[in-house]
Chain A
């Protein structure tokens, strides 16, 4: 069975601080995909990143970066120089890779990030 654990329920930081959101996953599959989604207060779900299990390169996109480590089954997300607009609930998710990722997403419970001015 697949499982995603986001141990941090809530995080509060002051603007311009760096913050890391942790994600630990469990799967027996050798091929799988990992995702991060953002849910701002308005409620929609915004796709941030997809990573397959064979690509352990870290990724940077502007102020966002992701650290994928298979040895620890972790896919952590760092926001550098946080801004108030980063305030949201962030979900880490996992899917099997047999169908190229076209399978159900298993979500963590989310981490609520509050960035204070």
Chain B
């Protein structure tokens, strides 16, 4: 019974490039959440999605960041034109309806 899968585990990008982070929820989970953990800060909510729908994006930066959870395939968090301040650990979580969120191992993004 596989848990939440995230890939890549580590991603290095140069300033101005695009970063694409993938998340496959646990089997049977239809809700996906993205969180960011910045150095010296706690975990901050970014976006909550269900299949083909964004439910809450109140934590997403207004520019350069987008997320999707298509009918088929993993959820994608996309960061365009990355800057050094985007360096962080990005965690995906999934849950069934009205259920506990279980987290993936995270993607560590480093922007050079």
**0 or 1 for each of A39-50: is its CB under 8 Å from B? (1 = yes):** 000011111001
Docked-complex contact A91 and B31, CB < 8 angstroms: no
Q: Does B98 contact A (CB under 8 A)?
A: yes
Q: A108-B42, A109-B42, A110-B42 are in contact. Are A103 and B56 (CB under 8 A)?
A: yes
Docked-complex contact A91 and B43, CB < 8 angstroms: yes
Question: Taking the complex as formed, is A99 at the interface, i.e. its CB lies under 8 A from any CB of chain B?
Answer: yes
A104 to B59, CA, bound (A): 9
- In the complex, the number of residue pairs spanning A and B with C-beta atoms less than 8 Å apart equals 60
Is the C-beta of A106 less than 8 angstroms from some C-beta in chain B? yes
| Chain B residues, Cβ within 8 Å of A43 | 89, 105-106, 108
- Of the residues B56, B59, B103, contact of A37 by C-beta under 8 Å: B103
Say yes or no: is B69 at the interface (Cβ < 8 Å to chain A). Answer: no
| Residues of chain A lying within 8 A (CB to CB) of residue B59 | 104
Tell yes or no: A105 within 8 A of B by CB: yes
Given known A43-B105, A44-B103, contact A102–B43 (CB-CB < 8 A): no
Q: Are A100 and B97 in contact (CB under 8 A)?
A: yes
Overall SS of chain A's interface:
loop
Interface check B41, CB cutoff 8 A = yes
Chain A residues with Cβ under 8 A from B31's Cβ? 102
Chain A contributes a number of interface residues (CB within 8 A of B) equal to 22
List residues of A (85-111) whose CB comes within 8 Å of B's CBs.
Answer: 91, 93, 99-110
Q: Please name all residues of chain A whose beta carbon is closer than 8 Å to the beta carbon of B108 when the two chains form the complex.
A: 43
Q: Is the CB of A103 within 8 A of B48?
A: yes
B window 90-112: CB within 8 A of A: 91, 93, 95, 97-106, 108
Output the nearest chain B residue to A100 by Cβ-Cβ distance. B98
From 55 to 112 in chain B, residues with beta carbon under 8 angstroms from any chain A beta carbon are 56, 58-59, 89, 91, 93, 95, 97-106, 108
Our pick among B58, B99, B103 for the contact of A104 (Cβ within 8 Å) is B58
B72 to chain A, nearest CB (A): 22
A14-52 vs B: 1/0 string, CB under 8 Å? Answer: 000000000000000000000101000001111100100
User: A101's contact among B35, B98, B103, by CB below 8 Å, is which?
Assistant: B98
